[in-house]
Amino acid sequence: MIYILCWAGVIFFVFILQGRVSFLDVAPNFTVVLAYYAGIRNGEVSGMFIGSLIGMIEDSLSCAFLGPNLLSKGLVGFFSSFMSGSFFRWTSLLGIIGISTLTLIDSTVVLVSRSIFERMPVSISGAAFIVIVQLMINAPLGMFIKPKEASNPSQFPLTKGRFSRKLEIFRQK
């Protein structure tokens, strides 16, 4: 119960912050960070559920048709879950690249779906400027969000230095 209340409070705070703050006249997209965090820490099902819930709230608050943000935030939560695990060795650079790529995917899905089913909200150059500013805002946050597995360095044997690996090999002989 506390977990749900904590998520509700954070989502509410992010929506307030996102509505009040702007950088170069562009509102940040902190809801992508929440969906990214949910996916990378809790897995694909929880990430997709929380991302879709955030997107549905965002769509209903924007007074537009339901769907673009629901789809895009669900995709962000789902795809971010694949960044943790055994395929990638976690680094801060991977976090920056991951959140930047998923912010780009989120903005592209919302722009394309609104352009197809409604009218085009902004020009292509305006959309590119908005996405670049949102990338610059979200990218540094990717350094601080890491999967649960990255918190325990013993699960990543490749994180040891070259000298310590040679020392282990010497001790085994």
| Token representation of residue 95 | 């976090």
Task: Give the residue from 101, 82, 86, 80 showing the smallest Cα distance to 145.
Answer: 80
Q: What pLDDT shows up at residue 156?
A: 47
pLDDT confidence of residue 87: 65
pLDDT, tens digit, 9 for 90 and up, residues 6-27 = 888 998 999 899 889 888 888 8
* Statement: residue 151 has pLDDT above 80: no
Identify the DSSP state of 23. B
Express each pLDDT in 114-133 by its tens digit: 888 888 888 888 999 999 99
Residue 70 CB-density burial (10 A; 0-12 exposed, 13-18 middle, 19+ buried): buried
Residue 158 banded pLDDT, cuts 50, 70, 90:
very low
Domain coordinates in residue numbering, the chain: 2-172
Amino acid at 53: L
pTM of the model as a whole? 0.81
Instruction: Give residue 36's pLDDT.
Output: 93
CA distance 34 to 50: 8
Residues paired with 26 in a beta bridge: 23
Shortest CA distance to 36 belongs to which of 46, 23, 47? Answer: 47
Mean pLDDT estimate for the chain: 83
CA dihedral (94, 97, 100, 105) positive or negative:
negative
The CATH class for the domain spanning 2-172 reads mainly alpha
Could you tell me where the DSSP H helices lie in the chain?
A: 2-20, 30-42, 44-61, 68-80, 92-117, 124-138, 148-151, 162-172
Note the pLDDT of residue 170: 60
How high is the pLDDT of residue 167? 56
Task: Give dist(CA 128, CA 112) in Å, integer.
Answer: 13
Instruction: Give per-residue pLDDT as tens, 42-89.
Output: 888 988 999 999 999 988 888 777 888 899 999 999 998 888 665 667
